Amino acid sequence: MAQSTPGKKAARTSKSGKKTPDGKILVIVESPAKAKTIEKYLGGSYTVKASMGHLIDLPKSRLAIDVDHDFEPEYITVRGRASILKELQDDAKKSDLILLASDNDREGEAIAWHLRRALAAKVDKPIQRICFNEITPAAIKDAVAHPGGIDEAKVDAQKARRILDRLVGYNLSPLLWKKVKNGLSAGRVQSAALRLICEREKEVESFIPEEYWTLSADFLSGKNTFTAQLVLWKGEKPDLKKEREVQRIIDLISPVKKCRVTEVREVEKTVKPKSPFTTSQLQQSAANRLGFTSKKTMQIAQMLYEGVNIGSSRVGLITYMRTDSTRISQTALDEARAWIGSTFPEDLPEKPGIYPTGKKAQDAHEAIRPTYIAYTPDSMKAYLTRDELRLYTIIWERFTASQMNPAKTKTVSVDIQAGAGLFRISWTTVVEKGFYKVMKLLASKEEKGETHLTLTAGDEAELLRFSPEQHFTQGPARYTDASIVKTLEERGIGRPSTYAPIISVLLDRYYVTRSNRQLVPTVLGRLICDVLVEHFPLIVNSDFTARMENNLDAVEESRASWSAMVREFYDPFKIRLDEVEKTLESFKGTLDETIDAVCEKCGRFLVKKLGKFGFFLACSGFPECRNTRSIPVAVCPLCGGDVIVRKTKKRGKEFYGCAQYPECGFITHFKPINQNCPKCGKFLVEKYDKRNGYYKSCINPACDYLHTAGEEENGAPDED
């Protein structure tokens, strides 16, 4: 790092006793939004500019890693970024001090390291590093007053990760081009995540639902009317497989009109608030509560972190959003306790809430929290978009609640004896709200519960009616953004900064698609996964991938050499790569299949081909004839024609319709699966509702196979 040289202006001492440099100071951050916010906090002697992320990186056109000389990388100025670098160098020449203020993580440290080298080659000025966890006036001024050096170990960890990913991607991808299909790609961490999604899909497909029944009954006791469920029959838990078994119980109980409340139990429980958000917890809650994808969550969090206009001022509303720590600074704890003590004094605990950070956490940053607790969600409504406000609200609620008293709930269970059957109704109410007082979007089921019955043991109850209900057992659920992030975190695959990019890459490569918020592997994704599992099992092994992440952590903590770590991985990987290249049979063309159909334009046979977006039909006369068609996914139940995937005009939303449209108007929202109904022979579809979750059902509304009442039938697709 360039150091101060003789002849430079000496630093002056401010009233606070901190040294501040004379002359012009250049501060370089990553984004224009962050630059705009920080510039408002600093005086006229500061110029704040944005690097727009990485300016220097590996070239895209070649490997650029010298594997024979300790994996030395060849860095170049990113294409299209030379003018930005030139402008920063010109600004540096006009300045007396340069402060590098990129994000305080591996990528940010690498950006600062590259900028220092590029600037030091052109100017002989002091270049220093500043870091901060939140973008507020106090945090920025404190960071500027205490500059430091670049963390070389953190830079080495980023370099090792970048080189590992390059070695895997730039060696495996050409192999896939040669042996499978042009244009394919494979990645180190993404491939392990893809395997998890593909294996879950196999479990979903192989699951066979089983029928079972439940029995509820409506009772009247005094002025109370309530519904209770059968929990015991002749002293044992009922196992009702068929409707006739339920009917037999109904027939035996029906003569018993007068029933009795045999027991009323009350159990009180203390509900402790949860810790403030980590990155993975924020992504999971935003997915479950708000329906956000991981990518959307991080994009909105980035905007809240970098700064929002609040009237005449601009401020970062939350702390840094890539963290695996639940730690909170003492300043933030003091501010939170002061606000709670003023607003909800009866719910301020004697001591602040301290939450242990997980063993695997790097603890480089605080938990995600509001920078100012006084900026309540209600006070921010006028300044934030709807989605920004919703995300900010759950962050504010989670942090504020974490520093309040626990809530207390009471669960009441009432047993009603009806002949040989025991029915039960239970409900939970909040006795002391505690931290629930600040919960709105994150309110629990207990807080929302409103059941209030006044029943005591010995009360008589009149049985009014029975409500038997058919169900089908639920198979394993496909991964969603929330559940895959949770699994990746639990298995140690990736880090807070990589969860959202992992999902995005799989979607961008069309290895995975989203269906009703679920992650579903495509034919292409499953093919790539099968090849990698068979021939490169370590690459897609989650335990191995987690060990690599631990090795990167060891590099960042100066406990391991980055080049030795890469060498340990690369040598056996290269041996295996060479073996597979010689022995792997070519799949090229094997996925193409000539079908018994002809091109309507030229009369040649049609061929089933695998493209970037799945299978399609193409004329065998290509390139002379470029006619293509969608693959049929089912037989139309109305006319016997082909059912194909279609899309709405406005937003491209997929639905399924007859290829003979407009002659045949059959359409459905539900995805056909490769199975026919054993009762009527029509195709089965995959359906979803809140009560039953995901299940298979016959497309024929007149068929009762795996069908539930009140379902939406065929109709025009929404144009949203």
> Looking at the predicted structure, is the pLDDT value of residue 337 above 50?
yes
Pair 205, 214: CB distance under 8 Å? no
Residue 92 belongs to some domain of the structure: yes
How far apart, in Å, do the first and last CA atoms of the chain sit?
55
The pairing of strands 614-619 and 628-630 is: antiparallel
- Token pair belonging to 134: 């939140």
Of 102 and 43, more confident: 102
Tell whether the model's pLDDT for residue 523 goes beyond 60. yes
Catalytic residues: 320
At 691, give phi and psi (nearest 5°). Answer: -75, -45
Angle at 642 between CA 636 and CA 646, to 5 degrees: 100
Cα–Cα distance, 178 to 57 (Å, whole number)? 27
575 and 453 in a single domain? The answer is no
Domain-ending residue, one of 472, 503, 528: 472
Q: Quick one: average pLDDT of 577-595?
A: 79
Whether pLDDT at 562 is above 70: yes
- Name the residue with tokens 């950006």: 111
Q: How many CB atoms lie under 10 A from the CB of residue 687?
A: 21
User: How many other β-carbons are positioned within 10 Å of the β-carbon of residue 127?
Assistant: 25
- DSSP secondary structure letter of residue 588: T
pLDDT band (50, 70, 90) for residue 317: very high
Q: For the purposes of burial, counting CB atoms within 10 Å of the CB of 601, is it exposed (0-12), middle (13-18) or buried (19 or more)?
A: exposed
Q: CATH code at 133?
A: 3.40.50.140
Inform me whether the pLDDT recorded for 701 exceeds 60.
yes
The dihedral formed by the CA atoms of 57, 58, 61 and 65, expressed in degrees to the nearest 10: 170
The CATH number of whichever domain residue 296 belongs to comes to 1.10.290.10
272: tokens are 């402790």
In this structure, what token pair is assigned to residue 219? 């009772």
The count of domains in the chain is 6
Q: What is the pLDDT of residue 450?
A: 60
Structure tokens at 231: 């929990």
Give a yes or no: residue 694 inside a domain.
yes
Would you state the pLDDT for residue 709?
35
pLDDT of residue 608: 82
Q: Tell me if 194 sits within 8 A of 540, measured CB to CB.
A: yes
Any domain includes 85: yes
Both 142 and 60 in one domain: the answer is yes
Predicted confidence band at 704 (pLDDT cuts at 50, 70, 90)?
confident
Taking the C-alpha atoms of residue 210 and residue 226, their distance in angstroms, rounded to an integer, is 29
pLDDT at site 139: 94
Q: Which two tokens stand for residue 147?
A: 């500059």
Q: What is the pLDDT at residue 692? A: 63
647/470: higher pLDDT: 470
Q: Are strands 56-57 and 224-233 parallel, antiparallel or unpaired?
A: unpaired
DSSP 229-276: EEEEETTB-----SHHHHHHHHHHHTT--EEEEEEEEEEEEEEPPPPP
Q: Are residues 18 and 145 in the same domain?
A: yes
| Residues 521/576, Cβ–Cβ less than 8 Å | no
Do 40 and 24 share a structural domain? yes
Q: Give the helix ranges, DSSP H, for 354-460.
A: 377-380, 386-402, 445-448
pLDDT grade for 93, boundaries at 50, 70 and 90: very high
Global pTM exceeds 0.75: yes
Query: Which of the pair, 51 or 187, is modelled with greater confidence?
Result: 51
pLDDT at residue 670 in the model: 87
Residue 448: exposed, middle, or buried by beta-carbon count in 10 A (0-12, 13-18, 19+)? exposed
Residue 362 above 80 pLDDT? no
- The number of CA neighbours under 13 Å toward the Cβ of 695 is 19
Closest among 383, 378, 394 to 290, alpha carbons compared = 394
In this predicted model, what pLDDT tens digit does every residue of 429-472 receive, in sequence order?
Answer: 899 999 999 998 887 665 665 667 889 999 999 999 999 999 98
The stretch 566-572 carries a mean pLDDT of: 96
Tell me the HSE value of 465 on the side-chain side, using a 13 A CA sphere. 3
Domain-ending residue, one of 472, 501, 520: 472
Residues 18 and 121 in one domain: yes
Q: End of a domain among 383, 402, 421?
A: 402
**Phi-psi category of residue 495: left, alpha or beta, with phi > 0 → left and psi -120 to 50 → alpha:** beta
- pLDDT top residue among 633 and 369: 369
Task: List CB contacts of 382: < 8 A, sequence separation 6 or more.
Answer: none
Residue 76 resides in a domain? yes
pLDDT: which is higher, 311 or 397: 397
35: in domain: yes
pLDDT of residue 217: 96
DSSP at 286: I
DSSP string, 18-81: -EE-SS-EEEEES-HHHHHHHHHHS-TTEEEEE--S-SEE--SSS--EETTTTTEE--EEPTT-
Same domain, 626 and 652: no
- Supply 435's token pair: 């931290």
CA of residue 489 relative to chain centroid, distance:
11
What stretches of 536-682 show up as alpha helix (H) in DSSP? 542-556, 562-583
According to DSSP, the residues that pair with 629 across neighbouring strands are 617
Q: Tell me which residue of 460, 469, 550, 428 sits closest to 160, measured CA to CA.
A: 550
Does residue 617 share a domain with residue 602?
Answer: yes
Q: What is the pLDDT of residues 407-419, one digit of tens each?
A: 999 999 999 999 9
Q: What is the share, in percent, of the chain residues with pLDDT greater than 70?
A: 90
Question: For position 715, what pLDDT does the model report?
Answer: 35
CATH number at residue 491: 1.10.460.10
d(CA 510, CA 181): 14
Q: In 3D, which of 88, 49, 40 has the Cα closest to residue 313? A: 40
The SS3 of residue 224 is: strand
Q: What is the pLDDT of residue 719?
A: 35
Q: What residues contact 504, with CB distance under 8 A and at least 6 apart?
A: 294, 295
> Does one domain contain both 262 and 343?
no
Verify that 572 and 662 share a domain, yes or no: no
**Where is average pLDDT lowest: 257-261, 380-384, 622-626, 644-648?**
644-648
Q: Is the predicted pLDDT of residue 612 greater than 90, yes or no?
A: no
Domain co-membership, 71 together with 180: no
Longest dimension (CA), the chain: 104
Q: Which of 182-186, 434-438, 625-629 has the highest mean pLDDT?
A: 434-438
> What pLDDT was estimated at residue 375?
96
Buried b (16+ CB within 10 A) or exposed e, 164-189: bebbbbbbbeebbeebbbeebbbbbb
**What was the pLDDT predicted at 665?**
87
Q: Which amino acid is at 332?
A: A
Average pLDDT taken over every residue of the chain: 88
Q: Does an H or E element contain 485, and which?
A: helix 481-491
Whether 392 is in a domain gets the answer yes
CA dist 175 and 180 (Å) reads 8
Q: How far apart are the C-alpha atoms of 546 and 360, rounded to whole Å? A: 11
Contacts of 216 (CB under 8 A, 6+ apart): 227, 228, 229, 230, 423, 466, 467, 468, 469
Q: Please give the Cα distance from 253 to 239 (Å, whole number).
A: 17
Alpha carbon dihedral 81, 86, 87, 89, in 10-degree steps, equals: 130
pLDDT of residue 350: 94
Q: Which domain holds residue 695?
A: 633-720
**CA gap 156, 659 in Å, rounded:** 56
Higher pLDDT, 450 or 635: 635
- pLDDT, position 621: 87
Instruction: Report the pLDDT value the prediction gives residue 410, as an integer from 0 to 100.
Output: 93
pLDDT for residue 7: 34
- Give the three-class secondary structure for 606: strand
Q: What is the pLDDT of residue 11?
A: 44
> Closest Cα partner for 587 from 194, 172, 190, 182?
182
Q: Is residue 379 part of a domain?
A: yes
Comparison of pLDDT for 645 and 251, the residue scoring more: 251
Q: Which residue has the tokens 């207390």?
A: 408
The verdict on 44 and 146 lying in the same domain is yes
Q: Is residue 56 part of a domain?
A: yes
Mean pLDDT of 518-526: 90
Q: Evaluate the omega torsion of the peptide bond into residue 126 and state whether it is cis, within 30 degrees of 0.
A: no
pLDDT per residue over 205-263, tens digit each?
899 889 999 999 999 998 889 999 999 999 999 999 999 999 999 999 999 878 999 99
Question: 249 and 230 in contact (C-beta within 8 Å)?
Answer: yes
The length of the chain in residues reads: 720
DSSP character at residue 188 = H
Cα 585 to its chain centre, rounded Å, is 37
Compute CA 206 distance to the chain's CA centroid, rounded to the nearest angstrom.
26
- Both 301 and 215 in one domain: the answer is no
User: Rg (Cα) of the chain, in Å, rounded?
Assistant: 31
